Amino acid sequence: MTAPRLTPKRRRQLPAQRRWPGWALGLWRAGLLLAVLGLWQGGVALGVIDGFFWSSPSKIAASFAVYLTHGDALTDIGYTFRSTLIGFVLGTGIGSAIGLSFWWSPNYAAVAQPYLVAFESMPKLALAPLIILIFGLGIASKVAIAVALTVVVSCLTTFSGVRAIDQDGERLFYSLGASRWQVFQKYVMPGVLPWVISILRVNIGLALTGAVVGEFISAEHGLGRAILYAGETYDVALVWSGVLLLSALSFAMYIAVSWLERLLVKGVTHGVAV
């Protein structure tokens, strides 16, 4: 009796997924947006959607045009952008510097870490009224709130990078006669830089949140102030206009930070290759 012949099983492969070209993706995105706007406008016209609370795309477009041409849109955008950018740069820079400083002394890091964790777990937006009282109604208070939201995140992320540094590499530098400052400058900082880069896109959103929250509480200008004023006067179309501008500003800054991140990553990779 002959043994049954075993046929080899076909090797399973990942299903082939054809990616759509860019123009097809653009058409689908535009079609989806137009469909949502059309359903929204039709729902308001038929009375299915309450036009008072939700407004309509036509009213929002008209309010948006007035806000851009006759309102303070450019001033508000510039005010929110400045406070966000300054808070982003200061928060990321200060937090990264503190995180890097923990490499110099484990005892200093062990003492400071619980306070950083406690501050990070604290709802910092609840401190916004106090920050407004201390720094006033100008742009300084909005920058302070943005810094409060970004500095600890940057610090803890950088500290994680410091702890991930290979100690064998440090020993190699010391064995070659390098000083402590040279090890920090030539080995620790380049090793931690990817961790700092990874937090940039998160911090730009946190900085924008802090700036807008500060404008909600009290401000002379800003998109947050415009949205709050529109809400208090029941101008829902203007609320949507402010939200659209805020989304556009957020998207533009996110793209800019993503470009900066790719540039820094390329520089780090080139430096390592060299």
- Which has more pLDDT, 34 or 122? 34
Q: Would you say residue 238 lies in a domain?
A: yes
Residue 264's pLDDT is 78
Report if residue 5 sits inside a domain.
no
The mean pLDDT value of the chain amounts to 85
Same domain membership, residue 191 and residue 125: yes
The predicted structure's pLDDT at residue 201: 86
Q: What is the pTM of this model?
A: 0.82
Q: Does the pLDDT of residue 268 top 70, yes or no?
A: no
Residue 96 near residue 152, CB atoms below 8 Å: no
Asked whether the beta carbons of 99 and 156 are under 8 A apart, the reply is yes
What is the mean pLDDT of the segment spanning 113-131? 82
Q: Is residue 62 very low, low, confident or very high in pLDDT (cuts 50, 70, 90)? A: very high
Residue 241 confidence class, pLDDT cut points 50, 70, 90: very high
Residues 68 and 30 in one domain: no
Angle, alpha carbons 93-95-98 (nearest 5°): 110
Q: Specify the CATH number for the domain of residue 261.
A: 1.10.3720.10
Work out the average pLDDT over 202-209. Answer: 90
pLDDT at residue number 3: 57
| pLDDT above 80 for 12 | no
Residues 113 and 217 in one domain: yes
Mean predicted confidence (pLDDT) in 57-66: 91
Residue from 210, 240, 206 nearest 226 by CA: 240
Q: Pick 219 or 55 by higher pLDDT.
A: 55
- 124 Cβ contact partners less than 8 Å away, ≥ 6 residues apart: 145, 148, 149
Instruction: Reduce the DSSP state of residue 180 to 3 states and report it.
Output: helix
Residue 259 has pLDDT above 60, yes or no: yes
Tokens of 154: 């940057």
36 within domain boundaries:
yes
Q: What pLDDT does 118 receive? A: 84
Residue 150 pLDDT class (50, 70, 90 cuts): very high
pLDDT of residue 39: 93
262: containing domain: 55-273
**Does 217 fall in a domain?**
yes
Task: Place 1 in a pLDDT band, splitting at 50, 70 and 90.
Answer: low
Domain count, the chain: 2
Whether 101 shows a pLDDT value over 80: the answer reads yes
pLDDT in tens, 26-44: 899 899 999 999 999 999 9
* 2 pLDDT more than 60: no
The pLDDT assigned to 126 comes to 80
Task: Kindly state the average pLDDT of the residues 149-172.
Answer: 88
Residue 3 in domain: no
Whether 155 and 253 map to the same domain: the answer is yes
Q: Is the pLDDT of residue 84 over 90?
A: yes
Q: Are residues 148 and 192 in the same domain?
A: yes
What are the tens digits of pLDDT across the range 174-183?
888 888 888 8
Query: Pick from 49, 58, 89, 72: which is nearest to 199 by CA?
Result: 89
Residues 226 and 211 in one domain: yes
* Chain-centroid distance, C-alpha 249: 12
